[in-house]
Amino acid sequence: MSMTSSQRNHLRDLRKKVAREAALLLYISQEKEFKQAKEKAAKALGLKVLPTNSEVAEELDLIAEEYEGGERWSRLVRMRREALEIMEMLASFHPKLIGSVWRGTITKNSDIDIVIFSQSRETILETLREKGLKILGVETTPSAKDGSGEAFHIFTELSSGDRVELVVRKQEDIDRKERCDIYGDLKRGLTIEQLRNILEKDPLRRFVPKR
């Protein structure tokens, strides 16, 4: 039996309610993963409906806008400029800006996410040290579900206080297409030239698929 218009609207309202609560949990850093945030939010509200990740992301974006206002956009431009500087340092490793700084959906908790490609982790670390970047830590994650191999993560901090996560993948992954588990689209990111062009022509441009 198909739902009536009234039932669909009611379900949509419930999903939005859970999405808002889940987004708030993410915003105040009570949860770090969308899945856990949605489940905790639904349980807290006594509801059995779960929104999509993109619905939660939309609410998270609205919360950041409400709490951070115009300062958020000046910070986005700064972070994109910082990303460009780092990418230019690592130009030989085919860097791409990904994550919320690419999307244009940053919150107060966002860092700069850049993926690079190299067979040598030590070469990357040595280059960062030579450039005077402060390395906070490293971490290795196992192969992903999409078939890409394990990744080496390097965490750094800039003089502005902004943090950077460099994701080092093997060179054979450079042309691999990866789908975003939040928005469902391809994680295209921005190359050095693309990011430079964005900063010159439209520094606040967003890369979020339309619903």
Q: Which of 111, 85, 82, 103 is nearest to 190 (CA)?
A: 103
Positions of E strands within 143-185:
151-157, 163-169
pLDDT of residue 146: 54
Question: Can you give the pTM of this predicted structure?
Answer: 0.90
Regions of the chain short of the pLDDT cut 50: none
* Alpha carbon separation from 6 to 13, 18, 34, 42, 118 (Å, rounded): 11, 19, 28, 21, 54
CA distance 21 to 77: 28
What pLDDT sits at residue 7? 76
The Cβ-side half-sphere exposure at 210, using a 13 Å CA radius, reads 0
Q: What are 100-152's pLDDT values in tens digits?
A: 999 999 999 999 999 999 988 899 999 999 989 989 999 998 866 555 667 89
The confidence score (pLDDT) of residue 75 equals: 96
pLDDT at 176: 87
Q: Are strands 163-169 and 112-117 parallel, antiparallel or unpaired?
A: parallel
- pLDDT given at position 11: 86
